[in-house]
Structure 1
Amino acid sequence: MQLNFKKLGSGKPLIILHGLFGSADNWFSISKELKDNFTLYLVDQRNHGDSPQSDEWNYDVMVEDLKELMDHEGLKKAFLMGHSMGGKTAMNFALKYPEKVEKLIVADIAPRYYAVHHQSILEGLNSLDLTEIQSRKDADDELAKYIPEIGVRQFLLKSLGRDSDGFVWKINLPVITENINEVGTALPDGKSFTGPTLFLAGSNSSYVQQSDLDDIDKFFPNNEVEFIADAGHWLHAEQPDAVVEEIRRFLK
């Protein structure tokens, strides 16, 4: 699948993959701070953003989507970074195609299995009747019945687009809802990536814990783990300066 992406900057290639319900735009402000040092590829993963939609959605196909993008762009090797679901894609890619990853950055996700925990979000998104929505405020008011956190709602509503008929989801909501178990899948045993790897975790997030460190060592023996102070799961939005500083330090 040919993925949509934004390309900017100059220097060694750095590919950035967003998380579940997100898009390439989530990392645009970070990329503006890095564009003088790297050629950035901000990627919409399948069923997200402006990339094609498909009934097939799992890490195996998302890894091959990334391989196709690199081949199409003539990238033999690149720095690779992913957040949450994008971090799982990046980890799986590094295990399968280690020769194509110069350094790996994984943002607030570990190699282990995660139980489904997006039920209220999916319930809220699926409750919206887009034919009845007249404005983004209407959508926000409806989502508030299921999702009290305004920041989470604002993030989700970035995937609400418009066409000639009205509002449309830019995410493939039916396929994501049906296959949500795929997001939490653990990395497959039997392989490791020995290249330099940085795990960035939000100190206020529960996604990466001390108990995950042995698992990280098993799959990525050449690793560093850094906890970003005063940051939750969306660490790049909550502490962008600290995230940019860590990226620059690790990739210099």
Structure 2
Amino acid sequence: MILHSKIYGSGYPPVLVIHGLFGNGDNWISFAKKFEKNHQIHLLDMRNHGKSFVSNKMNYDIMSDDILKYIYYHKLNHPILLGHSMGGKTVMKFSIKYPIIPKKIIIVDISPKDYIDDNQKKLIHILKKVDFNIINTRKDLDFFLKTWISNIKIRSFFSKCVKKQKNGKLCFCFSLLNIEKNYDSLIHKKIENGSYHGPVLFLRGEYSNYILEKDYNHIQQLFPKCKIWTIIKSDHWIHIDNPIDFYNKIGVFLNET
């Protein structure tokens, strides 16, 4: 099966955007519109997310192969890959597994290390409490989530990640069941062994703890030609917190030969 996507523009090289956990390609429409004049932008929905297929198997090896199938299906020549969070780890795995394919890669606020923080697992437990038999609107969902999630940005993200079914009821735009089932393979998985020697840009949020200075050595072992830049005044959702600086730095990297 081929991943669902939305495609903007027609320039070369193409840029594939891989979203984070719980997200989908629509989260990156503003990015696509910013760069579609010079690049063909592919906003992918990964398995168990958005409009792509549902599967009970989900890990970085499998998702790397999903991207490979997508590239072959669309006959893309040496694309640039950009991944945020879970998407960033997928891109890291892909570039090490298939190093001759990417022209360059961009990793947004994620390190190759394993993460022991269970904040994401707490979110899963909260989301399992959502009853769409009584929650009928995004406003209802936001009000419900407010009991457990004080961060407005996170609540807003999940309130946008819902869709209306044929029966008129809302549902999440991701398979919570399969994400929970494969959680350990996604969060507690370290990217190691091998290397990618093409150009790599790591972007980290100034206020985020996803990429720390103590991670740099591991990053540079896997990606010898990497650059690590900080986006000021931003947390984990860099592209939302400081889009101007984010777009500027990516623009510089895309234009480098």
More displaced 10-residue stretch of structure 1: 39-48 or 142-151? 142-151
- The reply on whether 1:199 has 2:202 as its aligned counterpart is yes
Gaps of 5+ in 2: none
Aligned residue in 1 for 2:2: 2
Distance 2:60 2:76 in 1: 21
| 1:95–1:193 CA contact under 8 A, matched in 2 | yes
SS at match of 2:208: coil
Distance 2:77 2:137 in 1: 45
- Please list, as runs of the form range in 1=range in 2, the aligned pairs for 1:86-165 lying within 5 A after superposition: 86-115=87-116, 116-165=118-167
- The reply on whether 1:244 has 2:250 as its aligned counterpart is no
Structure with more of its chain in strand, by fraction: 1
The runs of at least 4 aligned residues of structure 1 exceeding 4 Å deviation read none
Distance 1:240 1:136 in 2: 25
SS at match of 2:115: coil
Identity rate, percent: 35
Instruction: Measure how far apart 1:10 and its partner are.
Output: 2.3
Q: Which amino acid aligns with 1:142?
A: F
Aligned residue in 2 for 1:49: 50
Pairwise CA RMSD = 1.0
- The reply on whether 1:29 has 2:30 as its aligned counterpart is yes
Aligned residue in 2 for 1:85: 86
Distance 1:68 1:41 in 2: 14
SS at match of 1:153: helix
Q: TM-score, normalised by structure 2?
A: 0.95
Distance 2:179 2:172 in 1: 12
Distance 2:22 2:41 in 1: 21
More displaced 10-residue stretch of structure 1: 231-240 or 175-184? 175-184
Distance 2:155 2:165 in 1: 21
SS at match of 2:77: coil
Distance 2:246 2:136 in 1: 37
Gaps of 5+ in 1: none
Q: Which amino acid aligns with 1:6?
A: K
